[in-house]
Structure 1
Amino acid sequence: MSSDPWGRVDETGTVYVRTADGEQVVGSWQAGSPDEALAYFERKYEGLVVEIGLLEKRVKTTDLSSKDAQTAIGHLREQVDAHHAVGDLDALRKRLDALVELVEARREERKAQRAKQSDEARHAKEALVAEAEELARSDQWRAAGERLRALVDTWKGLPRLDRKSDDELWHRFSHARSAFSKRRKQHFAQLDAQREEARRVKERLVAEAESLSGSTDWGPTAARYRELMSEWKAAGRAQREHEDDLWNRFRGAQDVFFAARSSVFAERDAEQAENLKLKEELAGEAEKLLPITDLKAARAAFRGINERWEAIGHVPRDARPKVEGRMHAVERALQEAEETEWRRTNPEARARAAGLTGQLQAAVDKLKGQIEQARAQGNTAKAEKLERELEGRQALLDQALKGLQEFGG
């Protein structure tokens, strides 16, 4: 007979294990000594200890499912309850009980974690839906389209919710994307129509511009080109594949016209510059007639100068007022000299001037006599009134005398 603290072997070879409920039969041993029997069943106990230890580690450190953990615990509990090992089986039962509690706690933790993840996923998807619905109203077609594609990738990376919630949110999300795509398609269809209309308008403008490129009607044609440019800008852009070609043709036609005009204007400017030089020389020749001493000779000389002036042609517009002003000054001097000569030699005008002067002189003499009489009578007020009247008549007399002098005295 052999024994240890947790078991014994009786004389018949029966092996027992001690438990809180008393001794339990482990089995019988006939092949060897009692010590060998105890050692064999103690090794079986150590094996259970190792298996339970490994299971505890898996539960604590891996994502072993609650179901698999409970199955493994049940299998080990069957072995412990079968009493086919010698050792502290009650301690193993307690460890298995603690393991059951741990598995349940881990299951609750996972459940709470899944609930938290689901709640976070719901909020994340609701935020994606809200942003997608906002983007559906955007006119920033490229940026909004790229952002919606990014939102789809984000959605795919989120956990699924319960079927009903996930389907409802996805329906809203998908509807927002569809609404945006529909609006974008309509926008670009309308834009294509506008660009097609712009192409037709610009082809008409190009045709007219090309038809005008050979015109020599410089002013009206240049004005029409400015109008065509305004119409071009108002037409909007055509399709990209047509816009550059149309513009190059339109601009090319203008360039042909304006290059020809510039060439003609350059020749004209050179001619007008030479004309200006000639007219300045004539203006200087005319100015040498001043002051006028011989009216008849000056008039004949100016007539000859003016005939040569008229034959020369145009000068640059900005120089015209100055050079023409010099000629006009000489012409006015001639006119004034002619008017003076006419007044001097006109008998009727001389007689009228002499008559008026005589009348004014008589009136002045009469007023002077009346003033002397009034003062002699002591009527100062009447004398002062007559003196004021005398001042006006005297001024008229002075002017008449000056006019009479112009007739030669």
Structure 2
Amino acid sequence: MSSDPWGRVDETGTVYVRTAEGEREVGSWQAGSPAEALAYFERKYEGLVVEIGLLERRVRTTDLSAKDAQAAVEHLREQVRGANAVGDLEALDKRLEKLLSTVQERQEVRKAERAKQSEESRKAKEELVAEAEQLAESEQWRVAGERLRALVDIWKGLPRLDRKSDDELWHRFSHARSAFSKRRKAHFAALDAQREDARKVKEGLVAEAESLSESTEWGPTAARYRDLMTRWKAAGRAQREAEDELWTRFRAAQDVFFSARNELFAERDVEQGENLKLKEALADEAEKLLPVKDLKAVRAAFRGINERWEAIGHVPRDARPKVEGRLHAVERAIQEAEEAEWRRTNPEARARAAGLTGQLQDAVDKLRAQIAQAESAGNTAKAAKLRGELEGRQALLDQALKGLEEFGG
């Protein structure tokens, strides 16, 4: 018989392994010595040791799932517990028990990590949904559209939640995108309709502008072109290609008209510039007539200047007020001289002035006499009152005498 700490071979060749529960038969050996029998069954034990070691390494160094790891551990435990091998099978079972605990701990860690990841994913998706629902109301069509496309890419990169939660959030997300797309399509459909209306309006404006391009009614036609431009701006924009083509035709028609007008006005500006020089010379000549000394001669000279003035023609509009103002100032001075002469030589006006002066003189003389009488009587209060009246009447008399002097005495 042969034995070692973990097994023995009896005299019949039966091989036993020692366990905590006692000996267990693992096989028989008839082909060789008992030592060879134990060595054979010990090699089977070492095979189990190697398999356990490999599984421990897989669990430690690979992403072996908990489910697969548990299955592998249970499979090896069954092998160890029923193994036909000689060795410390209890130690192997403890190693497997410890490995199973490690797998379960890792499973709990991964479960917690998945729960955390799921919560983070849920929060991230809820934020994406909230942003998408906000963007669904935006009218920044290009920016919002690009952002929604970016949100889809972000969504695809996030881990899935449980099916119900993921489906509910995706439904809201998808609904927001659809709502934005519908609003954008409706907006651009309305915009296309507006642009088509604008195209029709602008085609009419272009036709009218082209019909006016040869007009020589400069003022009215220029006003009509300004009105056409106002209506053009109010019509809104047509489709881009139509807008550019219509605007080119509209501007070309305007250019034909305004180029012709500007050419004519340039010729007029030269002519009116010469007219201005002539009128400035006449204004100089008229101003030399002042001050008026010989009214008759001045009147005749001014009449000749005015006739030449009228024959000259137009001057530039911006220069007109100044040069005409100079001539009008001379004309007013002559009119004032004529009025003064009329007043001086009018016998009726002179008689009225003389009569008024006489009346005022009589009143002044009467007041002086009354003052002298009051003073003689010692009535100083009455005398003071009469002096106040005298001062007023004397002032009126002085003015009347001055006016009478203008009539030559």
2:197 alignment counterpart? 197
1:214 partner SS: coil
Deviation at 1:307, TM superposition (A): 1.0
1:304 alignment counterpart? 304
* Cα 1:208–1:10 shift into 2, 3 Å: same
* Cα 1:371–1:201 shift into 2, 3 Å: same
* Cα 1:231–1:25 shift into 2, 3 Å: same
* Cα 1:152–1:285 shift into 2, 3 Å: closer
1:207 partner SS: helix
1:145 alignment counterpart? 145
Deviation at 1:229, TM superposition (A): 2.7
The worse-fitting range, judged by mean Cα deviation, of 104-113 and 205-214 is 104-113
* Cα 1:348–1:101 shift into 2, 3 Å: closer
Deviation at 1:141, TM superposition (A): 1.8
The worse-fitting range, judged by mean Cα deviation, of 7-16 and 281-290 is 7-16
* Cα 1:366–1:90 shift into 2, 3 Å: closer
- The separation in 2 between residues aligned to 1:200 and 1:371, in whole angstroms, is 98
Deviation at 1:358, TM superposition (A): 5.1
Length, aligned pairs only = 409
1:28 alignment counterpart? 28
Alignment pair present for 1:269 and 2:272: no
Decide whether the 8 Å contact of 1:275 with 1:314 is kept in 2. Answer: yes
Q: What do residues 94-122 of structure 1 show as CA deviations (whole Å, max 9, x unaligned)? A: 32333344444444444444444334333
Percent sequence identity over aligned pairs: 82
2:248 alignment counterpart? 248
- The separation in 2 between residues aligned to 1:356 and 1:228, in whole angstroms, is 70
Alignment pair present for 1:128 and 2:128: yes
Matching of residues 351-370 of structure 1 within 5 Å = 357=357, 361=361, 364-365=364-365, 367-370=367-370
The worse-fitting range, judged by mean Cα deviation, of 247-256 and 339-348 is 339-348
Amino acid at match of 1:260: A
- The separation in 1 between residues aligned to 2:329 and 2:315, in whole angstroms, is 19
- The separation in 2 between residues aligned to 1:75 and 1:352, in whole angstroms, is 150
2:159 partner SS: coil
Deviation at 1:12, TM superposition (A): 3.9
- The separation in 1 between residues aligned to 2:113 and 2:348, in whole angstroms, is 132
1:227 alignment counterpart? 227
Decide whether the 8 Å contact of 1:24 with 1:83 is kept in 2. Answer: no
2:213 alignment counterpart? 213
Decide whether the 8 Å contact of 1:25 with 1:83 is kept in 2. Answer: no
- The separation in 1 between residues aligned to 2:400 and 2:124, in whole angstroms, is 111
The worse-fitting range, judged by mean Cα deviation, of 339-348 and 45-54 is 339-348
- The separation in 1 between residues aligned to 2:37 and 2:404, in whole angstroms, is 176
- The separation in 1 between residues aligned to 2:82 and 2:373, in whole angstroms, is 176
Alignment pair present for 1:315 and 2:315: yes
* Cα 1:82–1:260 shift into 2, 3 Å: same
* Cα 1:281–1:10 shift into 2, 3 Å: same
5+ residue gaps, structure 1, are none
1:16 partner SS: strand
* Cα 1:365–1:203 shift into 2, 3 Å: same
Deviation at 1:285, TM superposition (A): 2.0
- The separation in 1 between residues aligned to 2:79 and 2:358, in whole angstroms, is 168
The worse-fitting range, judged by mean Cα deviation, of 97-106 and 37-46 is 97-106
- The separation in 2 between residues aligned to 1:115 and 1:365, in whole angstroms, is 127
2:151 partner SS: helix
Deviation at 1:231, TM superposition (A): 2.6
Amino acid at match of 1:306: N
* Cα 1:267–1:65 shift into 2, 3 Å: same
Deviation at 1:50, TM superposition (A): 0.9
Amino acid at match of 2:163: R
Deviation at 1:331, TM superposition (A): 2.8
Decide whether the 8 Å contact of 1:295 with 1:337 is kept in 2. Answer: yes
Alignment pair present for 1:3 and 2:3: yes
Deviation at 1:72, TM superposition (A): 3.3
Amino acid at match of 1:136: A
The worse-fitting range, judged by mean Cα deviation, of 331-340 and 234-243 is 331-340
- The separation in 1 between residues aligned to 2:347 and 2:73, in whole angstroms, is 156
1:164 alignment counterpart? 164
* Cα 1:60–1:401 shift into 2, 3 Å: closer
Deviation at 1:360, TM superposition (A): 5.0
- The separation in 2 between residues aligned to 1:94 and 1:113, in whole angstroms, is 28
The worse-fitting range, judged by mean Cα deviation, of 272-281 and 341-350 is 341-350
TM-score calculated relative to the size of structure 1: 0.85
Amino acid at match of 1:89: L
Matching of residues 259-298 of structure 1 within 5 Å = 259-298=259-298
2:334 alignment counterpart? 334
Aligned Cα RMSD in Å? 3.1
1:123 partner SS: helix
2:61 alignment counterpart? 61
Amino acid at match of 1:303: R
Amino acid at match of 1:313: G
The worse-fitting range, judged by mean Cα deviation, of 180-189 and 371-380 is 371-380
* Cα 1:258–1:31 shift into 2, 3 Å: same
Amino acid at match of 1:272: Q
Decide whether the 8 Å contact of 1:80 with 1:92 is kept in 2. Answer: yes
Amino acid at match of 2:329: A
- The separation in 2 between residues aligned to 1:114 and 1:354, in whole angstroms, is 126
